[in-house]
Chain A
Amino acid sequence: MQKFARILVAAALFAGSAAPALAAEGRDYISIVGSSTVYPFTTAVAEQFGKTTKFKTPKIESTGTGGGLKLFCAGAGVDTPDVANASRPIKKSEIETCAKNGVSQIVEIKVGYDGIVLANSKKAEQMQLSRKDLYLALAKDVPSPEGGDRLVANPYKTWKDVNPKLPANKIEVLGPPPTSGTRDAFVEMVMDHGCAEFPQIKALQAADEKKFKAICQTLREDGAYIEAGENDNLIVQKLEANPRSVGIFGFSFLDQNADKIQASAIDGELPEFKTIADGKYPVARPLFIYVKKDHVGKIPGMAEFLAEFASDRAWGEQGYLAEKGLIPMPKDEQKAMAAVAKALSAMVNKK
């Protein structure tokens, strides 16, 4: 028993002494955190980078944009991530947190675009939707169909009720839960626009923005909008099983499953590489990576990694990222961003 106790004490001492040694050790790989939407693209670049250079393959965590930027801004030391993936621009409050923790030099690089698509099974009819239709179909409270300024609980049961040109199918939309960045983007780009088409709500936008957001961005809770979890593959499978339902997910899943599902046109535009890249398709968002400038030089391979990301073979029109479903930026924007990546020009304080 004494021997046993002695071993225990020795083990505890060993663990205690090993811990600081591990922590003090410099990191020899790039650490990336952030959006699960950007994850498939950053990982592809990281893998290529790891294979073609002498550097280690970067480590990429899928934490979501908000969680990622929180980690990114937690400090300036090498124990914090070097790069953050984001499916939306960094917020002013996040820049402030960063600055407070000693991260003042952040390089913002736009890497491409992602489209959010509404799609249904090939077995069903393709839909021609407008953002107004979608607002009326999915918002919790909508302007009364009888006219007037009054808002009523959403009375629409079928797509035909919303817009006589649409099929008489029950409204059944599978989409991401509120924790998802895709949901945020969908709500901002579709619902806000859709409800701003009603003058009485639009008037609110200037007067009481909070109320405007509450009206526009609250989705139905009566079963017409179904939260299907973060897994887009699952939504695709459910669409196949139930041809009358419509799903909301990222463009790359449409791209991979074009034999099973078809996209609905939104405001007359179908989501395709071209329409998203030139901004015609209305539900598209830019994707970013944020880089800590101070870590370049401290962590081996940072400059080379950014060069790989900004190369034509990665984010170019025929690059391997396009193969993965990233929508490339127009040529001149690509050039500008590659210059930013090369010069590491830090963001000027956002207004």
Chain B
Amino acid sequence: MWCANTVKNMNRHTEDNSRFNEPDGMGATAKVQAGLAARYRKERRFRLFGLAAIAASLLFLVVLLGSIVAKGYTAFWQTQILLDIHFDPAVLDVNNLATANYAALVREATLRLFPQAASRQDQRALAKLVSTGVAYQVQEIVTSKPELIGSIIPIWVVADDEVDMFVKGYIPREVPENERRISDKQAAWIDQLAAAERLRQGFNATFFQAGDSREPELAGIRGAAMGSLFTLAVTLTLSFPIGVAAAVYLEEFAPKNRWTDLVEVNINNLAAIPSIVFGLLGLAVFLDFMHLPRSASLVGGLVLTLMTLPTVIIASRASLKSVPPSIREAALGIGASQVQTIVHHVLPLAMPGMMTGAIIGMARALGETAPLLMIGMVAFIVDIPHSFSDPATALPVQIYLWADSPERAFVERTSAAIMVLLLLLLAMNAAAVLLRNKFERRW
């Protein structure tokens, strides 16, 4: 191809030269000189357009990432309060630890910090400073270490999301009291806690360890991440072998006729179909016909397999095509069968390109929500999935659900989840580039 082009160019040059040598007035050099400045200008302008396009897209990227990071980085820290919890033997019955009133222990600990809160209303407001999840935290501690019963232990507990927002400055102080969700009294208590060094910003481990929750301070992405992992595992194990097998057949064995042309057109067409269509197909085939469980990552993986297959097939065919025919001819020439030629020589050489295609397909699958909507994976799921048939959701779905929640603390969590998703995508795409650079051979 390259050779042919150069020859053509050279031909054109000689043609041009012959035209320049025509004996009508100006010499060829003079003619070139006259137009030179304009040609350089044109070239500069062309390059400038390219640069401007890149600068504009970089600017958009910086604005997008900047706004996400600026909104979301605070979500990795969570306000915590130091409570002296008395593991009261009167409340905790060693033989019946599961049903003890742990919330009462927490309430009592907050009361001991601010004994002046006497009225019922004040006590309620005070109890709201710490998260409702703290009772379960205390329960876990007691269940794992029953010997603590009877002692008073200082524990850093998770603050309520409103307190967290207030401390982080997302709830303004200066607006009238009835317009913010932290009352003046609560604000004063928070200031006292801070003064007594009983308030700190700790690493938000919950965000990485918990499943979804309606309490922002207890919500995490673990459930969604596991769901995505299971889904992608199914997608990869199905779409890679099937895609490669299809590509090998189409490229190496299939006769060139109207049938294979039709198949090829269809594959290219499928790659461009909106993903929601695959969700509808999945609903009809996997749920209604095969009766697979709703909301399971298995079904999600099957649907995403359908969606990524065309991408994998197209990438695999392209990389098979790029293996030079001389390799095949050499193998066949020394007596290898066609299967041996393909398995021993062509496939290993085409593998890096195929894997790149698969990884890019996976990255696209990781970012999909639309097909998952139809098969019930857009759902509130607290328990972290442990198998392919457990109800699960996926990372982008989690982002969508949080973005729609009224609580203000979900705003920063939404951005934080987006950051995690972007990092994963970046890692996958980087892996694709690395694979290509390391193993790809050029001829």
Contacts and interface: CB of A to CB of B under 8 A. Distances in A.
B207 to A, nearest CB: 17
Interface in A1-48: 1, 4, 8, 11, 19-20, 22-23, 25, 27, 29, 31, 33, 36, 39-40, 43-44, 46-47
A305 to B, nearest CB: 13
Interface string B379-421: 1111100000101000000000101111110010000000000
A252 interface: yes
Given A29-B391, A258-B180, A259-B175, A39 B291 contact: no
A233 interface: yes
B379 A1 contact: no
A300 interface: no
Query: Size range of the interface on A?
Result: 35 or more
B178 interface: yes
Contacts of A50: 382-383
B293 interface: yes
Contacts of B293: 22-23, 25, 27, 79
A62 interface: yes
A232 interface: yes
A318 B127 CA distance: 13
Given A256-B407, A324-B214, A22 B376 contact: no
B172 interface: yes
Given A51-B136, A59-B381, A60-B380, A252 B294 contact: no
Contacts of A22: 292-293, 296, 298, 389
B74 to A, nearest CB: 17
Interface range on chain B (Cβ under 8 Å from partner): 35 or more
A46 B380 contact: yes
Given A51-B136, A253-B406, A59 B214 contact: no
Contacts of A46: 380, 382
B290 A23 contact: yes
A46 B379 CA distance: 12
Contacts of B104: none
A93 interface: no
Interface string B107-142: 000000000000000001000000010001000000
Given A19-B292, A22-B389, A233-B411, A43 B406 contact: no
Nearest to B404: A231
Nearest to A41: B214
Given A23-B290, A23-B293, A258-B179, A230 B404 contact: yes
A61 interface: yes
Contact of A8 (B245, B292, B343, B391): B245
Contacts of A11: 241
B213 interface: yes
B304 to A, nearest CB: 15
Interface string B155-186: 00000000000000001100100111100000
A211 B202 CA distance: 61
B434 interface: no
Nearest to B382: A57
A50 B178 CA distance: 33
A36 B373 CA distance: 13
Contact of B379 (A8, A23, A62, A233): A62
A224 B180 CA distance: 31
5 interchain residue pairs of minimum CB distance: A57-B382, A23-B291, A60-B380, A61-B379, A43-B380
Interface of B: 124, 132, 136, 171-172, 175, 178-181, 213-215, 241, 245, 290-296, 298, 339, 342-343, 376, 378-383, 389, 391, 401, 403-408, 411
Interface of A: 1, 4, 8, 11, 19-20, 22-23, 25, 27, 29, 31, 33, 36, 39-40, 43-44, 46-47, 50-51, 56-57, 59-63, 79, 230-233, 250, 252-253, 255-259, 318, 320, 324-325
21 contacts: A1-B339, A1-B343, A8-B241, A8-B245, A19-B290, A19-B291, A20-B291, A22-B296, A22-B389, A23-B291, A33-B376, A59-B380, A61-B376, A61-B380, A233-B403, A233-B404, A233-B406, A233-B411, A258-B181, A259-B171, A325-B406
